[in-house]
Chains A and B, each alone.
Chain A
Amino acid sequence: MTTFDPPAAPGTPAVPTPRTTTIEPPPLTRVEGEGRLVIQIRDGRVEQARLRIFEPPRFFEALLRGRAFTEPPDITSRICGICPVAYQMSALAAIEQICAVEVAGPLADLRRLVYCGEWIESHALHVFLLHLPDFLGANSALELASTHRRHVERGLALKKAGNELIRVIAGRPIHPINARVGGWYRAPRRAELTALRPALEQAREIAHETALFAATLDYPDDHLDAPFLALRAPGTYAIERGRVAATTGLDIPPGEFGEHVREYQVPWSNALHASLSDGHRPASGDDAGTAGADAGSPDGTSYLCGPLARFALNAAWLAPAASETAAAAGLRAPERNPFRSILVRCVEMVYAADEAIRIIDRYEEPDEPALPVEPRAGTGHGATEAPRGLLYHRYTTDAAGTILDARIVPPTSQNQRAIEEDLRGVVERHLGLPEPDLTALCERTIRNYDPCISCATHFLTLDITRA
């Protein structure tokens, strides 16, 4: 029989000293991305805790140059099959800013509505298929189906409700086709949306029930110190628009994102890292026109975006149903244990299903599916809350609408540094654990963040080197 032995990843290997032993446990899985973990331990101290991402680069920011201003929603959705709506919405926000078009009323409501669908399908995927098996000692949801079949079946029904919402509004759940600069190609009929109501009511109920079930699980102790960053739109739980806020007191429009968040490259990862600073970028960090991300080390702090950050900053604006779920599950903002992010995802699914129902109930078919849009020269910024956290796009176009420059900062890029810091802490606190248990705990630590590495998947393999 043939056995298949995939080759090692490219990149910088852990550098063993002659006294170093390298341990190679089985691959870490159930994450969205191609990477591995490298941990070096010497004399009882963690020397290095790195998330090495070797997902092949696909150069989206480069291939967008020379394309038309109408194309980024379709092109950038191909960055991620799990959160394509997020890419479309951030791209649209940035381009519509350049074109001085403001989409409002039902056309804007439909954007929030389709985004609710994506939050539901993406969170359900993570909660049931990727995360829950960790807590119940299974390798997969398929395996879980033999012991917890009802949960798996209801989880799939919840996921389907999210996908159906996207499909009806935008054509298909993966790389939907209906969103365009200025609005939509076709606005759904009211009856098409109201037909979704029963499935969304059931989704809200399943998400609530799942939160109650998840509240009974055992959670390892962990405490994340990094600041949280998320969009904020007082009065509502921010999804598709808002200002960029952080627990440091930061409160800026998306257009100033680049002045506070610096992307930089590290040798062990094909994904750029990011750090949060007080707003004054060093001159060398000015990448406003042509250059790629900075090289070298960070000058700001790590920070975290995603469900924990949104809950910390915006819990006050959850609608009653979601607030009740949070209270019933014993969640209070801020929640700083990343293992308990599964509870926050459940609360956000309750919110998304509930919000979707509200939007459907008030929906009136627009006269036209889109506003007229003319190309303009300029730079635009768009930030929306992808399921995994804030997704920032920036485009510069010429007068004909041709893209001169593009910059995309996905949530996993922003979270990498905080994830590595958390990982280091987890390993330090559990150095005495036997190797397989420590490995499993490290895998779980990574999964807490639902990393979307290419916004994609493959092996994340763990290397622990002890000297």
Chain B
Amino acid sequence: MTTSPPATSTQAPPRPTLAVWKFASCDGCQLTLLDCEDELLSLADALDIAVFAEASSAVVAGPYDLSLVEGSVSTPEDAERIQQIRAASRRLVTIGACATAGGVQALRDFADVDDFLAAVYATPDYISTLATSTPISAHVRVDFELRGCPIDRGQLLEVISAFLARRRPTISSASVCTECKRRGNVCVLVAHGTPCLGPVTHAGCGALCPSYNRGCYGCFGPMESPNTTSLIRQLRVLRMSDVDIDRVFHTFNAAAPAFRDAGGQP
């Protein structure tokens, strides 16, 4: 109806077109693009930014060469909308934990959504929502998934650069531990006895939390082959309670299968 781009399609543009879409999310992953202060203007030279509602009032009709999708699907309308976006996109990349794993709002998957509604709204009937918050890949084909809550700025630039160069992005699927070692950090888990999800968490943040004397809390979601069973055994040795173990797995990537199963049912 009213949120549509102009009906007329333009001539094929000389530069690849970029579209940025938002579903249920905090806006932080698309903000990461605007946080590329040093690169933003050259990015805008290399790409034709066709749809980016936060940054521009200009809206160009599809199709789009590259769509970046932020957020999870949590309403019936959004389940429809992602189909249309997929159909209009040559490449579709999801950005962040909401789009790749359902996000923190996927905690509703473990509860009764009606209880959630009643806790926040006096008249739940006014609110349109689904009982689940699902990743984009549960609805359409996804060409690449960028992890993180939020995504890493360097990784975002790598994905866009790779797209412009028509190559596969060079994004490690190893664990945070590899980044910690490279950074020369002392292991907070072994040396300090601090519970840490680094061994099972996807790299990308640069081992941020351990660098601040804090255990990783898994905001990039599970790495490629996470041995959560072994880590949970170690967390228990550190006297972490089962309820705390459940909580740490069931936060920002609660619906990612490896973390969902590791956390048990709260």
Contacts and interface: CB of A to CB of B under 8 A. Distances in A.
Contacts of B25: 81, 454, 456
Contact of A174 (B2, B28, B40, B64): B28
Interface in A15-44: 24, 26-32, 34, 36
Interface of B: 1-7, 9, 22-32, 34-35, 37-38, 40-41, 44, 49, 52-59, 61-64, 74-78, 80-81, 84-85, 87-88, 103-105, 107-108, 111, 115-123, 126-129, 133, 149-150, 205, 208-209, 211-214, 217, 219, 244, 247, 251-252, 266
A4 B85 contact: yes
Interface string A453-467: 011111101110000
A295 to B, nearest CB: 4
A141 B55 contact: yes
Nearest to A12: B126
Most buried by A among B44, B49, B133: B44
B116 A456 contact: no
B59 A175 contact: no
Contacts of B127: 57, 270
Contacts of A65: 119
Contact of A56 (B30, B38, B75, B208): B75
Given A129-B34, A145-B41, 9 more contacts: A2-B88, A5-B84, A24-B2, A36-B3, A61-B120, A80-B27, A133-B57, A156-B40, A461-B3
Contacts of A185: 209, 212-214
B150 to A, nearest CB: 4
Contact of B84 (A6, A178, A272): A6
Contacts, number: 276
A57 B247 CA distance: 22
Given A171-B208, A294-B122, A454 B27 contact: yes
B219 A27 contact: no
B109 to A, nearest CB: 11
B246 to A, nearest CB: 10
A159 to B, nearest CB: 6
B70 to A, nearest CB: 9
B26 A178 contact: no
Interface string A51-70: 00011111111110111100
Nearest to B56: A140
A82 B27 contact: yes
A6 B3 contact: yes
A368 to B, nearest CB: 11
Nearest to A400: B243
Given A67-B247, A140-B57, A9 B122 contact: no
A59 B108 contact: yes
22 contacts: A1-B9, A4-B62, A5-B7, A7-B80, A27-B3, A30-B55, A32-B54, A34-B22, A56-B129, A57-B120, A58-B24, A61-B119, A62-B115, A78-B252, A142-B40, A143-B56, A156-B37, A185-B213, A456-B26, A457-B30, A459-B53, A462-B2
Contacts of A371: none
A185 to B, nearest CB: 4
B198 to A, nearest CB: 13
Nearest to B205: A172
